[in-house]
Amino acid sequence: MTQRLIAIGDIHGCRTALETVLDAIDPTGEDIIVTLGDYIDRGPDSRGVIDTLIRLADRSQVVGVLGNHEEMMLEVLHHGGSHHAWLRYGGVETLESYGFDGDLDFLPPEHQQFLDSLGDFYVAGDFFFTHAAYDPELPLEEQEIEMLRWYSLTNGIPPQHQSGKTAVVGHTANRDGEILDSGHLICLDTYCYGGGWLTAMDVNTRQVWQANEKGELRQ
């Protein structure tokens, strides 16, 4: 059995799309699934998305990076951060999915564990994975969180990273539902929550699966 290295773009609470794309991929214990962050906010079922990802780890190797939306939520829940920005950028939907009743201590322990397991980046073979982008001139261990998690590609696509590896990122939504592939950088955020597609890609073969929140699949 060949090992696949499959990246999944921004899910944003779109559990139906996630389940649909996973059914099509049919992950095995050999596969490495890299989730690119922004599991929560905006879409209808953030809680369900995290449940699905936790279960996925029972059958495959799952490596997740932290998105700026998880960062915003954790800042509010654990560090006394202001909730204004988070609620404005989709946090209300996340709170609803958890049945928020005014108590900020609402994350089930296994969800907290999942969030604690998320890294800032991941490297495999000729690829590295971050949520948003990178500074081309700094080693990955020395990157600033701002570039890894918040930088929008609408400000310009960075040149190839000094490692020579191909970057696989999300965060900057392509509203036409198409993957952005500039050779040294691939962006898999295809605007699932806004009526676009959730994208998964086997980065070695470039095989692509896309599903939407209506449960439709295209390949």
For Mn ion, the binding residues (CB under 5 A) are 38, 67-68, 171
d(CA 81, CA 87): 12
DSSP code at position 160 = P
Least distance from Mn ion to the Cβ atom of residue 132, Å: 6
Least distance from Mn ion to the Cβ atom of residue 150, Å: 8
Least distance from Mn ion to the Cβ atom of residue 171, Å: 4
Least distance from Mn ion to the Cβ atom of residue 119, Å: 15
- Cβ closest to Mn ion, residue 5 vs residue 133: 133
- Cβ closest to Mn ion, residue 38 vs residue 213: 38
- Cβ closest to Mn ion, residue 60 vs residue 68: 68
Query: By beta-carbon distance, which residue lies closest to Mn ion?
Result: 171
